[in-house]
A and B are shown apart, each in its own frame.
Chain A
């Protein structure tokens, strides 16, 4: 993994730029864009003293692909932020895809432009770049990127860092696909599966994925899918899985999100969320 600090850098409030349902079928997935400029308690944007005396950053630090934030609507009826992966970002905003699942995510999905969100982050190790794994002098690795359901968000974001045409992208959904803007143009191949056949191949990932064609695989999705990827890619040289866990602190302090690996427990939040498939026990 790259040499950087996986602990959260800031905890502050920011404004919602936009919050829109993706697709029309169930409208359970929302894209939320947040301003990177922290907001003071009096609602004024810009530099400020934080309550504990430190100067708030002028800008929420840019996340690396595969990192996440703890997000909570402000005001909120829930206690804790929810861990949400970064989908995209630029100099002024950070974008997330949120699956409406419980109370915390329902609050997030009901936000409107101009609402406030409390965030903590960016958190985690992120996806290792191919150049850090395979020598540039050798042949380019054959790369597969796999996203299942809402797990498409971090890998879609990561794929924007990769050279156009250098990867195949697999996306598996129950029903209508989402989160794939620009992927077809950049991927060597985009393969979509849906369980209801509403798009792409009817079925699940194994219907389209052939592990032996790859040297390097990145995947994020439901645990059952990651378990399949881990097993199917046993002979692929490098495989990285981004895991999801219930979290409380998002800082490595509470040990609530422990993941089992061959070398003992690891914290999903700051030791992950990206793990080597050969090390993690699912």
Chain B
């Protein structure tokens, strides 16, 4: 049979394949450019951007755990305007679909950030309502259905770009948050961001992280993320495309997420462990689809639901 078609279309935007570099793990796309062929990715999410520059958190920022990584970066970024003027040009030249990840602390900053991005060549906006590592805003928006709806509505009113909303696994009613985001204008959902976690420096008898809690990612969270994807896929019944993430490191992991309802996947922590991980996932998906005679990604989406 002919080569399988790995391309996917999400909210009207075509990606060459369903493998996307997750926000905060791939800088602005150029950092890994010498090690791997970045052009082979389906998409790249920028580091989380805020309207104004942020210096991020003090103290320890990363800590490895069994099969996982805790981080407390705190949305260090140069601000949306700096991104548009400096980082975006090179990011666009790389080839993969460019997705700007946007955070806000107030409804006004979500709206203003989205308005600035609306006027730019980014293909899509991923609205981050799930960063666990900042005090004001961040994840607070993603924990409650009404708050999530208001943040999404604020961004929606400021842009016509396709809007992906990135969900927090820490929401007690995740499916309700997902539904509210879609009702308020989300074109797609990505899930899940990191899990709020805690670690103790036993020599000092104090939290490891200055910000006390930190976000857990990596293979350790994968089965949890997959179960949440399943909940949302079933709960929303295909209203919008879903982008799965959380501990994906191999093509087999990616297939699991796709069969659980994801149209595309994001890969983050795995790139740190193996910079070739995303390229291997693209190749592995193609080989698997050939072997199973799936002609397109859509043949696999939701098979296991």
B91 CB to nearest A CB, Å = 13
A107 CB to nearest B CB, Å = 12
Question: How many interface residues does chain B have, given as a range?
Answer: 35 or more
Q: CB-CB contacts of A49-79 with B at 8 A, as 1s and 0s?
A: 0111110000000000000000010000011
Could you tell me if A51 and B71 are in contact, using CB atoms closer than 8 angstroms?
no
B218 CB to nearest A CB, Å = 6
Instruction: For the complex, give the distance between the alpha carbons of A81 and B276 in Å.
Output: 14
Flag whether A246 is at the interface (Cβ < 8 A).
yes
Residues of B within 8 A of A255 (CB): 24, 47, 56, 61, 73, 76
Flag whether A33 is at the interface (Cβ < 8 A).
no
Could you tell me if B36 and A79 are in contact, using CB atoms closer than 8 angstroms?
no
Instruction: For the complex, give the distance between the alpha carbons of A21 and B273 in Å.
Output: 27
Instruction: For the complex, give the distance between the alpha carbons of A254 and B77 in Å.
Output: 11
Flag whether A265 is at the interface (Cβ < 8 A).
yes
Instruction: For the complex, give the distance between the alpha carbons of A156 and B239 in Å.
Output: 62
Flag whether B279 is at the interface (Cβ < 8 A).
yes
Residues of A in contact (CB 8 Å), total: 35
Instruction: For the complex, give the distance between the alpha carbons of A258 and B36 in Å.
Output: 24
Tell me if A's interface is mostly helix, strand, loop or mixed. loop
Q: A71-99: which have CB < 8 Å to B? A: 72, 78-81
Could you tell me if B36 and A249 are in contact, using CB atoms closer than 8 angstroms?
no
Could you tell me if B276 and A251 are in contact, using CB atoms closer than 8 angstroms?
no
Known: A246-B62, A248-B71. A52 touches B219 (CB 8 A): no
A77 CB to nearest B CB, Å = 9
Instruction: For the complex, give the distance between the alpha carbons of A252 and B37 in Å.
Output: 17
Q: CB-CB contacts of A9-25 with B at 8 A, as 1s and 0s?
A: 11100000000000000
Which of B25-33, B118-126, B163-171 lies at the binding interface? B25-33
Flag whether B51 is at the interface (Cβ < 8 A).
no
A52 CB to nearest B CB, Å = 2
Instruction: For the complex, give the distance between the alpha carbons of A265 and B55 in Å.
Output: 7
B202 CB to nearest A CB, Å = 13
Flag whether B115 is at the interface (Cβ < 8 A).
no
Residues of B within 8 A of A9 (CB): 34-35
Residues of A within 8 A of B62 (CB): 246-248, 254, 256-257
Known: A11-B35, A51-B280. A80 touches B56 (CB 8 A): no
Chain B: which residue is nearest A246 at the CB level? B62
Flag whether A29 is at the interface (Cβ < 8 A).
no
Instruction: For the complex, give the distance between the alpha carbons of A246 and B71 in Å.
Output: 11
Instruction: For the complex, give the distance between the alpha carbons of A83 and B69 in Å.
Output: 16
A73 CB to nearest B CB, Å = 13
Flag whether A35 is at the interface (Cβ < 8 A).
no
Could you tell me if B272 and A246 are in contact, using CB atoms closer than 8 angstroms?
no
Residues of B within 8 A of A270 (CB): 31
Flag whether B13 is at the interface (Cβ < 8 A).
no
Instruction: For the complex, give the distance between the alpha carbons of A5 and B34 in Å.
Output: 9
Given B34, B55, B274, which contacts A7 in the complex, CB threshold below 8 Å? B34
Flag whether A135 is at the interface (Cβ < 8 A).
no
Residues of B within 8 A of A34 (CB): none
A30 CB to nearest B CB, Å = 20
Instruction: For the complex, give the distance between the alpha carbons of A8 and B69 in Å.
Output: 21
The 10 closest A-B pairs by CB, nearest first: A52-B279, A256-B62, A253-B27, A253-B31, A11-B275, A51-B280, A248-B62, A249-B272, A252-B31, A256-B61
Flag whether B180 is at the interface (Cβ < 8 A).
no
Instruction: For the complex, give the distance between the alpha carbons of A255 and B34 in Å.
Output: 18
Could you tell me if A258 and B35 are in contact, using CB atoms closer than 8 angstroms?
no
Residues of A within 8 A of B304 (CB): none
Question: Please, could you name 18 A-B residue pairs with CB atoms under 8 Å apart, sorted by A?
Answer: A8-B34, A8-B275, A11-B36, A51-B276, A52-B278, A53-B279, A79-B269, A246-B63, A248-B269, A251-B27, A251-B35, A253-B25, A255-B47, A255-B73, A256-B73, A258-B56, A265-B55, A265-B56
A11 CB to nearest B CB, Å = 4
Flag whether A139 is at the interface (Cβ < 8 A).
no
Q: CB-CB contacts of B54-74 with A at 8 A, as 1s and 0s?
A: 011000111110011101010
Could you tell me if A246 and B32 are in contact, using CB atoms closer than 8 angstroms?
no
Known: A78-B64, A256-B71. A53 touches B40 (CB 8 A): yes
Chain A: which residue is nearest B28 at the CB level? A253
Flag whether A244 is at the interface (Cβ < 8 A).
no
Instruction: For the complex, give the distance between the alpha carbons of A249 and B47 in Å.
Output: 14
Instruction: For the complex, give the distance between the alpha carbons of A40 and B187 in Å.
Output: 43
B241 CB to nearest A CB, Å = 25
